[in-house]
Chains A and B, each alone.
Chain A
Amino acid sequence: MSHAIQDRPVSVAPRRGSLSHARLPRWTPAAIAAGSVAGGIGIGLAAGWHSKVQWGLIAALLFVLVTFAVTTKVEGSRQAKDRVATSLIWVSFVLAVVPLLSLAWVTISKGMDVLDGYFLTHSMNGVLDAEAGGGVYHALLGTIEQVGIATLIAAPIGLLTAVYLVEYGGGKLAQAVTFFVDVMTGIPSIVAGLFILATWNLMLGFGPSGFAGAMALAILMMPVVVRSTEEMLKLVPNELREASLALGIPKWRTILKVVLPTAIGGITTGVMLAVARITGETAPVLLLVFGTKLINPNPFEGAQSSLPLYVYEQYAVGTDAAVARAWAAALVLIAFVMILNLVARGIARWKAPKTSR
């Protein structure tokens, strides 16, 4: 008996209670992923499916199942659960990223056709629907002005509301404000547009203008600013407020010089995200700004255009030239939001509290 035991190599049969156990090599998940993709394509081709979505789903399913089977066999059931959880996370990540990348890819590939300097600097004045040419300048200008005015209205009000809620609130009024901010978050954009249409345009008798659209956008933006600023202000440690108050600094200066600067990075990001949200709104713009082919630099009088509205109009026309313009304008819209986001991140990083020595 003793001979037989001694003959067996130690590494194959780890002793009971040992801290080490069989491990899959580090490249295993990558290999399983590659194999699953190959398997997905193979099964898809063999079954004669045309949809790449089906291929992908088969591959994802294979990935999870093979990971589970292989790990259970080699590493044991606890590690298998861990690996399955990890592989599910990877699959979810890929499922989330694929639409994003595909959207970016389609927009860029279709939008680049007509996007050039001429497109950015000319309006649609005198351009027929079926005709190539024309541009997006009037819409870009309108978007910048409307979003700018909306931000000028909504950001200060939202910021001050959040300051009230976090620094001064606590009673019934604060509860009510929080409740209504939550309700406002859920307002559909068309309702905000109709509200301004009913009050500003129908009751007070103003015509369509960029400013009317900006007011509707401000209504949509305000709750987002309040919410994000509130969360950022709550993150500021109470010790900093107390340190400042204990120096004999009045409360309003404490908020202005200590609390807000500490949170400014997050606040900026929040405002920029809100800006990004309203930049793509079409419905209130359609109702209130009306749309035009001409360059109208005055947001307070006369119809303007805006990028989402322009995309909608051009797509509705439906000719080849118009659809190409719609894709290019969509690309401009995405790039505009992207640039705003990058600027916001830059500001946030620049203003964030520094910890380096």
Chain B
Amino acid sequence: MAKRIDVSGLSAYYGAHKAIDDISMTVEPRSVTAFIGPSGCGKSTFLRTLNRMHEVTPGGRVEGKVMLDDENLYGTNVDPVAVRRTVGMVFQRPNPFPTMSIFDNVAAGLRLNGSYKKSQLSDIVERSLKGANLWNEVKDRLNKPGSGLSGGQQQRLCIARAIAVEPDVLLMDEPCSALDPISTLAIEDLIGELKERFTIVIVTHNMQQAARVSDRTAFFNLAAVGQPGKLIELDDTERIFSNPSVQATEDYISGRFG
């Protein structure tokens, strides 16, 4: 459980366009690492390279190394499907499967992977929903469609679905940007609990959120529109927000950007 991610010299492309350039960083296990930076700087692209979702995009291509403990995710014989079972992902917009009930949504990862024992399934679903702080709200309507839940509940359902397959790492791509402040608070509390068990990486546009939930923060920036995004600095969240070592970070955080 909860593995360390060690990225070195990673660049990602969309066709001929280079989206991120030569990124190296280490993500500590059992911690929350936040990615901040302006739109288009490659935060989400970088996040998607961490579970090989980038190559799902037509023309998506990656160079460099991503070590998960001692395994290179981009090694020659690595199966992307196996990578994604180990590194789970929660998306910006809640996306429960519309044809499935709440129960089936949570069970989907296990069922469709074919790796489960029938008797354990309802236990795992209950444990995952409790882990996502959703159990009390949905325990009486597990066979109702997941799309009938509110936006915040749907997002927690998606988190439950992601943790049901017991990944080692959980990637979150702006998980609260479509939610109201109360649902956001619920998810932030949840992130605080989940970091006991998972390595968590979260992309956010909300700097208060990064300051609240994360242990370490990485600032990304791009020189100009059309240029590839770069990692400017990665440090303890406290230091990034109080005394960053790069001027651009301070400008961005204090709103003096551009």
A residues sitting closer than 8 Å to B (CB atoms) are 170, 237, 239-250, 253-254, 257-258, 261-262, 264, 351, 353-357
Contacts and interface: CB of A to CB of B under 8 A. Distances in A.
Given A237-B95, A355-B147, A248 B81 contact: yes
B224 interface: no
B154 to A, nearest CB: 11
B81 to A, nearest CB: 5
18 contacts: A240-B95, A243-B95, A243-B97, A244-B97, A246-B53, A246-B88, A247-B165, A248-B81, A248-B83, A248-B86, A248-B88, A250-B81, A253-B112, A257-B108, A257-B112, A262-B99, A355-B145, A355-B148
Interface string B74-110: 0000000111111011010101011100000000110
B147 A353 contact: yes
A245 B56 contact: yes
B53 A242 contact: yes
Interface residues of B, number: 32
Nearest to A250: B81
- Which 3 A-B pairs have CB atoms at the shortest separation, nearest pair first? A248-B85, A353-B98, A246-B89
A356 B86 CA distance: 33
Interface of B: 51, 53, 56, 58, 81-86, 88-89, 91, 93, 95, 97-99, 108-109, 112-113, 141, 144-145, 147-149, 158, 161-162, 165
Contacts of A239: 91, 93, 95
A238 B84 CA distance: 17
A237 B147 CA distance: 14
A245 B171 CA distance: 14
Nearest to A256: B112
A254 B81 CA distance: 11
Contacts, number: 91
B58 A170 contact: yes
Contacts of B97: 240, 243-244, 258, 262
Nearest to A248: B85
Contacts of B158: 243
Question: Which of the listed residues B99, B112, B141, B144 has the most CB atoms from chain A within 10 Å of its own CB?
Answer: B99
Contact of B91 (A243, A353, A356): A243
Given A240-B97, A353-B99, A355-B148, A247 B58 contact: no
Nearest to A251: B81
Nearest to B85: A248
B81 A242 contact: no
A357 B143 CA distance: 10
A234 to B, nearest CB: 14
Contacts of B81: 248-250
Given A242-B56, A244-B97, A245-B84, A354 B147 contact: yes
Contact of B51 (A243, A246, A250, A356): A246
Contact of B144 (A249, A250, A254, A357): A357
B230 to A, nearest CB: 25
Contacts of B86: 248
A239 B56 CA distance: 12
A170 B95 CA distance: 25
